[in-house]
Chain A
């Protein structure tokens, strides 16, 4: 399912809304999660899962092709932990 298909499904369920409004709603939700993570906040959606940001320290990596040492700066990576309810659902439904 793509973002567009998600919007279509929601529009079908909400015939009183214009599809372009459903699109704005879906975008607003993911934008809100993105900006929370960009601030370093955690996003906790009980039953679904939690998004957080983890720090990766600077390290000395290697260019796998040439073997040269490459400095890799400290960076932050987004992380998702599946919620209990969803994890259980994945292992019960079809």
Chain B
């Protein structure tokens, strides 16, 4: 683990390296991609990026929460939350995917 943080700058750089666009235009395209995804989600549309994952919007109904410090009951209004589900391809990339067995039985090996 290197523990670094990647930002828009590195994504723009990747776009710049990939196609012959200016750095400025590369940055604008990264922004457009994020905006298109955000627009679709704001409209309640699900966004599926194959071999990466899917973003969907889930509606939460009203519930009674509690301030953990004081114990007072606080109503939590109905709201919409974003859920990201990673694809298997992404999960496997993160776990090395080097034909690593997913799990083993106890007493086996």
Contacts and interface: CB of A to CB of B under 8 A. Distances in A.
A10 to B, nearest CB: 6
Closest 9 CB pairs of A and B: A40-B1, A80-B84, A32-B14, A28-B18, A36-B6, A78-B86, A93-B42, A82-B82, A1-B40
B98 to A, nearest CB: 12
A44 B105 contact: no
Interface of A: 1-3, 6, 9-10, 13-14, 21, 24-26, 28-49, 53, 60-61, 68-73, 75-80, 82, 86-87, 89-91, 93-94
Contacts of A2: 47-50
Given A1-B46, A70-B106, A77-B86, A31 B14 contact: yes
Given A25-B19, A45-B8, A90-B57, A38 B38 contact: no
Given A70-B106, A77-B94, A78-B94, A25 B18 contact: yes
Interface of B: 1-8, 10-11, 14-15, 17-19, 26, 29-30, 32-34, 36-38, 40-53, 55, 57, 79-82, 84, 86, 90-91, 93-95, 100-106, 108
In terms of DSSP, what is the predominant structure of the interface of chain A?
mixed
